[in-house]
Chain A
């Protein structure tokens, strides 16, 4: 392998092909958002802007999208608040049963979604809670919680404890140390956890399907319409969200690399 041009080029070529392969369905979804199709969006019928300009024409799609946003925001806020507190307690304090708590947090991630979904549904069923927005938010908060703990925990563990000690040394009360030092330093980790939570919640189908009842989120809308054919407006919403997310990620990457370069230059 070493030295041969073929061998040296093989890995980049493979990676390019593999990444292109990953993109195929995305490009397909994007192209078919411009399909001049009514209801079933399977055959290419010709180009139109109509789907983009009249997104809410397809029945229920905008409502489902709105529900997904509400669920995502509320579940993210709840999971981030609960998870951050758990993460700090787990890293910073030694208490009896710490390993059991860690296991309890890890287990939901190791449980297949179908089991989580069915379990919650069985629970709501036996409690007599009607399925709807509330049960979906409860379910989403649960599976986001573990991911938040894992993400924030890594950030807490990488914090230099002497920075907080310096705060105590410089006349900051425990509350001031937390709000003026610990919390600001954890913000990048908390933000990452919140973004991840929202993405997980927004794209979740299986757990939602078990607990949503008649309420539809964007994924359950697609699943249910898949039998008859998904309207092109769903492709429009998915493509728009995709473009926004990619632009956001790219900007944050560029900003952080520029900042890093400037930092290196100023030293």
Chain B
């Protein structure tokens, strides 16, 4: 997995073999994870993948069944929630309805008997531009304002690690975009380690330095957002981060640089060895829809280009800057292609027989295939 940096800042988080069982199922299964000090880390996955349970274990709100949690090298597995230097921004904000905004923000400082609690709380409210509502109650604020109060209430404590549990989930799209920018800016300003849990892949990719995709209680893949998008290792990641076309096949031959994969219909696809997470046996070849080209009729294959022919256009939707084509390739399934409308008009029509192609170096090889994603992605 990701490299473990032994940073001396003392605020990095390490999970070692963390496991959480609930009666009847395993929510988190043997999870290892390291978040470097000062990093904005996103834990991304569908609901029920175990990401929130992981976050709650780090916060101390849930006890792990096995494994260790280290914060700056110190084992905090058995430390009570209220003694951990970790703070959380809750999904529902969980502001104290009976306290003023100011008292909400000052709550943690007062519990720790910080002497200049008042100045610190006001400074935190200033940071989120809400000093003017300090005397109001949470119910008198809008959703976006409540969200910022929840953030101020957590960061005012200068926690070694800030946990964000889908903090933008309850906001509407426009506000969410604004808050994403603001949150990222605040993180840069205060320099805290952020662990952000979300199911919104766009949110994770926009904000995080490192993204970990979680599925069925374990991490499927972890890395920088760009590299994850460019080179997913499993069909689940390929599908969850953006859209992909995946062709299931068997590796037929390989040389030092390229693997050849035979797919149904007699076609052979090539994928660079460096871009494949499996090199023999079951290998699926994937490619992003915007990296494909569409051609009327048949096209002769070339060594640096993969071509699949004989598809029929079943849907064309024009979205302005680009057009989206849906092409039926029979046993290979449906293929989606995005093409920028650089020319005047869409080049092919509904019902046309077409070919698709992409440069070999733009595809990727996956170690599993689509069918496994739905049932048991952890099994190979």
Q: Do chains A and B touch in the complex (CB under 8 A)?
A: yes
Q: Which residues of A contact B (CB under 8 A)?
A: 160, 162-163, 165-174, 176-177, 181, 184-185, 263, 266-267
User: How near does chain B come to A96, taking the closest CB pair, in angstroms?
Assistant: 15
State which size class the interface on B falls in: 20 to 34
Q: How many A-B residue pairs have CB under 8 A?
A: 72
CA distance A162 to B62 in the complex (A): 12
User: How near does chain A come to B363, taking the closest CB pair, in angstroms?
Assistant: 44
The 9 A-B residue pairs with the shortest CB-CB distance in the complex, in nearest-first order: A170-B108, A171-B111, A166-B94, A162-B94, A168-B81, A163-B94, A169-B88, A184-B98, A266-B140
CA distance A171 to B141 in the complex (A): 25
CA distance A172 to B109 in the complex (A): 10
Q: Are the C-beta atoms of A166 and B157 separated by less than 8 Å?
A: no
Specify the chain B residue showing the minimal Cβ separation from A265. Answer: B140
- Chain A residues with Cβ below 8 Å from B83 are 171
Q: A166-B153, A169-B87 are in contact. List 4 more A-B contacts (CB 8 A).
A: A171-B157, A172-B82, A174-B82, A263-B139
Q: Are the C-beta atoms of B136 and A266 separated by less than 8 Å?
A: yes
Given A170-B153, A170-B157, A172-B107; A165-B94 close (CB under 8 Å):
yes
List 27 A-B pairs, Cβ < 8 Å. A162-B91, A163-B95, A163-B96, A163-B97, A165-B59, A165-B81, A165-B90, A166-B90, A166-B95, A166-B96, A167-B96, A167-B107, A168-B81, A168-B82, A169-B61, A169-B82, A169-B88, A170-B111, A170-B153, A170-B154, A170-B157, A171-B112, A172-B107, A173-B82, A177-B82, A185-B97, A267-B142
B60 part of interface (Cβ distance < 8 Å): yes
- Chain A residues with Cβ below 8 Å from B111 are 170-173, 176
* Interface of chain B residues 52 through 88 with chain A (CB within 8 A): 59-61, 80-83, 86-88
CA distance A181 to B153 in the complex (A): 15
B92 part of interface (Cβ distance < 8 Å): yes
CA distance A166 to B81 in the complex (A): 10
User: How near does chain B come to A179, taking the closest CB pair, in angstroms?
Assistant: 12
Q: Are the C-beta atoms of A165 and B61 separated by less than 8 Å?
A: yes
Given A263-B139, A266-B140; A168-B60 close (CB under 8 Å):
yes
- Chain B residues with Cβ below 8 Å from A174 are 82
Interface core residue of B80, B107, B142 (most chain A CB under 10 Å): B107
CA distance A185 to B99 in the complex (A): 10
Specify the chain B residue showing the minimal Cβ separation from A170. Answer: B108
Q: Are the C-beta atoms of A169 and B81 separated by less than 8 Å?
A: yes
Interface core residue of A172, A174, A177, A184 (most chain B CB under 10 Å): A172
- Chain B residues with Cβ below 8 Å from A176 are 111
User: How near does chain B come to A236, taking the closest CB pair, in angstroms?
Assistant: 40
Which of B81, B88, B96, B142 lies in contact with A181, CB distance below 8 A? B96
User: How near does chain B come to A155, taking the closest CB pair, in angstroms?
Assistant: 13
- Chain B residues with Cβ below 8 Å from A172 are 82, 107, 111
- Chain B residues with Cβ below 8 Å from A167 are 82, 96, 107
Q: Are the C-beta atoms of A263 and B140 separated by less than 8 Å?
A: yes
- Chain A residues with Cβ below 8 Å from B81 are 165, 168-169
- Chain A residues with Cβ below 8 Å from B94 are 160, 162-163, 165-166
- Chain B residues with Cβ below 8 Å from A163 are 94-97
Interface core residue of A162, A169, A185 (most chain B CB under 10 Å): A169
User: How near does chain A come to B172, taking the closest CB pair, in angstroms?
Assistant: 16
Specify the chain B residue showing the minimal Cβ separation from A173. Answer: B82
CA distance A160 to B95 in the complex (A): 10
Specify the chain A residue showing the minimal Cβ separation from B142. Answer: A267
- Chain A residues with Cβ below 8 Å from B97 are 163, 185
User: How near does chain B come to A171, taking the closest CB pair, in angstroms?
Assistant: 4
User: How near does chain B come to A116, taking the closest CB pair, in angstroms?
Assistant: 37
* Interface of chain B residues 102 through 144 with chain A (CB within 8 A): 107-108, 111-112, 136, 139-142
CA distance A165 to B154 in the complex (A): 13
* Interface of chain B residues 191 through 211 with chain A (CB within 8 A): none
User: How near does chain B come to A163, taking the closest CB pair, in angstroms?
Assistant: 5
CA distance A233 to B82 in the complex (A): 59
Given A160-B92, A160-B94, A163-B94; A168-B61 close (CB under 8 Å):
yes
CA distance A165 to B55 in the complex (A): 13
Give B301-345 as 1s and 0s: 1 = Cβ < 8 Å from A's Cβ atoms: 000000000000000000000000000000000000000000000
* Interface of chain B residues 148 through 177 with chain A (CB within 8 A): 153-154, 157
CA distance A169 to B88 in the complex (A): 7
Specify the chain B residue showing the minimal Cβ separation from A169. Answer: B88
CA distance A163 to B98 in the complex (A): 11
- Chain B residues with Cβ below 8 Å from A168 are 60-61, 80-82
CA distance A206 to B91 in the complex (A): 51
Specify the chain B residue showing the minimal Cβ separation from A164. Answer: B94
- Chain A residues with Cβ below 8 Å from B98 are 184-185
CA distance A163 to B99 in the complex (A): 12
User: How near does chain A come to B248, taking the closest CB pair, in angstroms?
Assistant: 43
Specify the chain B residue showing the minimal Cβ separation from A163. Answer: B94
User: How near does chain A come to B226, taking the closest CB pair, in angstroms?
Assistant: 33
Q: Are the C-beta atoms of A162 and B92 separated by less than 8 Å?
A: yes
